[in-house]
Homo-oligomer: A and B are copies of this chain.
């Protein structure tokens, strides 16, 4: 039984990792759609979202079946419980990419973003992909040191988020309130995406070490 259990848990972990990678790619495409006012790409992200949602439901069910049929204990139980919690985070990462794509679609054929902030969002998109990949790697390697390094990318995202707010609050902001509202929401979506990736890494660290990492890996709320 233990061996079947570990195989199934491994399959579940791989699936969660794959979802993290997909969420990162969805955010990358959503970012492109946003920067280029690309409606086709925005629609693509929106229709692809079903895939992540379906994978979430399946992963949740797989975790449930593992609990029901294998009744794991101790560390093994901890691992399945973490998986259930991780599903919710990854699912949310996918939803945030969807939100970005929807703003791109809503503003089409206009650009949602004033050109002045394109650079920030290009960079946020790049960091989001790295976060998706780092969360996937943390899940698959179960290496707490690797998992802890996700903090660097989260710090980068927080810096971008903070800088963007400085740009917004500047008296010289010339792009009106609608653009300011879009930039505020979009920036928040990327920041939350990063927070969820960090949360996945924290859960991995907890699975492996039995304790949650302290402050430095706690997401910074704005």
Instruction: Sort chain A's interface into a size bin.
Output: 20 to 34
Q: State which of B85, B95, B188 has its C-beta within 8 Å of the C-beta of A84.
A: B85
Assuming the contacts A74-B68, A81-B64, A81-B67, asked whether A99 and B222 have C-beta atoms less than 8 A apart, the reply is: yes
Bitwise interface map of A from 159 to 179 toward B, beta carbon under 8 Å scored 1, else 0: 000000100110001000110
Give how many copies assemble into the complex: 2
How far is A20 from B222 in the complex, measured between Cα atoms in Å? 23
Contact across chains for A99 and B178 when beta carbons are under 8 A apart: no
A129 to chain B: which residues have CB within 8 Å? none
Name which residue of chain B comes closest to A70, CB basis. Answer: B71
Name which residue of chain B comes closest to A180, CB basis. Answer: B177
Contact across chains for A169 and B185 when beta carbons are under 8 A apart: no
A-B contact list, 30 entries, CB within 8 Å: A63-B81, A64-B77, A64-B78, A64-B81, A67-B77, A67-B81, A68-B73, A68-B74, A68-B77, A71-B71, A81-B84, A84-B84, A84-B85, A85-B88, A88-B88, A99-B221, A102-B221, A168-B177, A168-B178, A168-B181, A169-B177, A173-B177, A177-B180, A180-B181, A180-B184, A181-B184, A184-B184, A185-B188, A185-B222, A188-B188
Q: Which residues of A contact B (CB under 8 A)?
A: 63-64, 67-68, 71, 73-74, 77-78, 81, 84-85, 88, 95, 98-99, 102, 165, 168-169, 173, 177-178, 180-181, 184-185, 188, 221-222
